[in-house]
């Protein structure tokens, strides 16, 4: 093994792969250079034009980590730091309230387009991300579930949920005198209980129609005879 020789580092590349010692350039990608920076006094062992070892001279080791070493640690900390995701506090009536769990950080957003269409697929406690509508900081047009690290769950559809089916319930009510009204409701479902909820929704929607007693009678008779629900 060759003797240790003293040098001053006159240049150290940002990627820590090249170093100049008193003006002579060497490759150093095989060495741990995170402790060193330009202008440091060092001792090295050189064999056949290659640095095989580097150290601070005994007694001259820095008491604090070098700037390069600190920066490396910071990069590693940021890389491993998990950003908290928003968790649904409440969703419904065209609104989403979400929080990261910090007091006073709740955000209230308005559901639009697909976010509104599929909001029943979400519930309080779900971790979510969203896409804002153009030129808006309050309206969101899409919403999807995420994991703790912000990634989408495996085997999900484009909304970040398990694949679901969609069902449409409705019908046409004959109001006599060549008049009729078509009423429909649609939504996702996984179980018959979900379909039952849509059935009740259809029943409620039907009650909104008929300003006179005769028309209301036709609508209510149709509901009793065909739709049922509310049981």
173 in the same domain as 129: no
Quick one: how far is CA 177 from the chain centroid?
A: 55
| Contact assessment for residue 152 and residue 160, using Cβ atoms and an 8 Å cutoff | yes
Query: Is 155 within a domain?
Result: no
99 in the same domain as 36: no
Query: Is 156 within a domain?
Result: no
| Contact assessment for residue 45 and residue 53, using Cβ atoms and an 8 Å cutoff | yes
pLDDT tens for each residue of 43-84: 999 887 789 999 988 877 776 666 566 666 666 665 555 567
Query: Is 106 within a domain?
Result: yes
Query: Is 91 within a domain?
Result: yes
70 in the same domain as 96: no
120 in the same domain as 105: yes
pLDDT tens for each residue of 149-180: 788 776 555 444 555 578 888 888 888 888 88
Predicted confidence band of residue 122 (pLDDT cuts 50, 70, 90): very high
Predicted confidence band of residue 35 (pLDDT cuts 50, 70, 90): confident
126 in the same domain as 184: no
Instruction: State the number of CA atoms in the 13 A half-sphere of 142 facing the CB.
Output: 8
DSSP calls for the chain? -PPPEEEEEEEE-TTS-EEEETTEEEE-TTS--TT--TT-EEEEEEETTEEEEEEPPTT---SS--HHHHHHHHHHHHHHPPPPPEEEEEEETTEEEEE-SSTT--EEEEE-HHHHHTGGG--TT-EEEEEEPTT-SSEEEEEEE--TTSPPPTT--TTSS---EEEEEEEEEE-STT-EEEEEEEEEESSHHHHHHHHHHHHHHHTT--SSHHHHHHHHHHIIIII----
Query: Is 69 within a domain?
Result: yes
70 in the same domain as 10: yes
Domain that holds residue 113: 86-145
Per-residue pLDDT for 222 more than 70? yes
Determine the straight-line distance between the first and last CA of the chain, rounded to whole angstroms: 90
pLDDT tens for each residue of 93-120: 999 999 988 878 899 999 999 899 889 8
Count of domains for the chain: 3
Domain end, chosen from 114, 145, 176, is at 145
Domain end, chosen from 113, 145, 177, is at 145
74 in the same domain as 13: yes
100 in the same domain as 76: no
Query: Is 118 within a domain?
Result: yes
130 in the same domain as 102: yes
Query: Is 92 within a domain?
Result: yes
Query: Is 150 within a domain?
Result: no
Domain end, chosen from 145, 176, 191, is at 145
Would you state the structure tokens that stand for residue 217, as one six-digit string?
């009678």
């Amino acid at each position: 093994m060759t003797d240790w020789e003293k040098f001053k580092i006159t240049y150290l590349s940002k990627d820590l792969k090249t170093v100049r010692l008193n003006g002579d350039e060497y490759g150093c990608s095989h060495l741990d250079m995170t402790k060193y920076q330009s202008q440091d006094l060092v001792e090295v062992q050189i064999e056949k034009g290659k640095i095989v070892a580097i150290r601070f001279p005994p007694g001259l080791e820095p008491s604090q980590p070098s700037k390069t070493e600190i920066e490396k640690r910071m990069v590693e900390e940021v890389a491993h730091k998990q950003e908290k995701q928003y968790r649904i506090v409440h969703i419904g009536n065209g609104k989403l309230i979400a929080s990261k769990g910090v007091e006073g950080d709740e955000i209230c957003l308005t559901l639009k387009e697909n976010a509104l269409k599929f909001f029943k697929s979400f519930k309080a406690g779900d971790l979510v991300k969203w896409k804002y509508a153009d030129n808006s900081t309050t309206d969101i047009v899409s919403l999807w579930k995420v994991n703790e690290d912000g990634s989408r769950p495996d085997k999900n559809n484009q909304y970040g949920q398990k694949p679901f089916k969609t069902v449409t319930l409705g019908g046409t009510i004959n109001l006599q005198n060549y008049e009729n009204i078509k009423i429909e409701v649609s939504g996702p479902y996984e179980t018959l209980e979900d379909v039952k909820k849509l059935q009740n929704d259809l029943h409620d929607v039907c009650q909104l129609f008929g300003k006179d007693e005769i028309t209301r009678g036709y609508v209510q008779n149709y509901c009793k005879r065909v739709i049922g629900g509310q049981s």
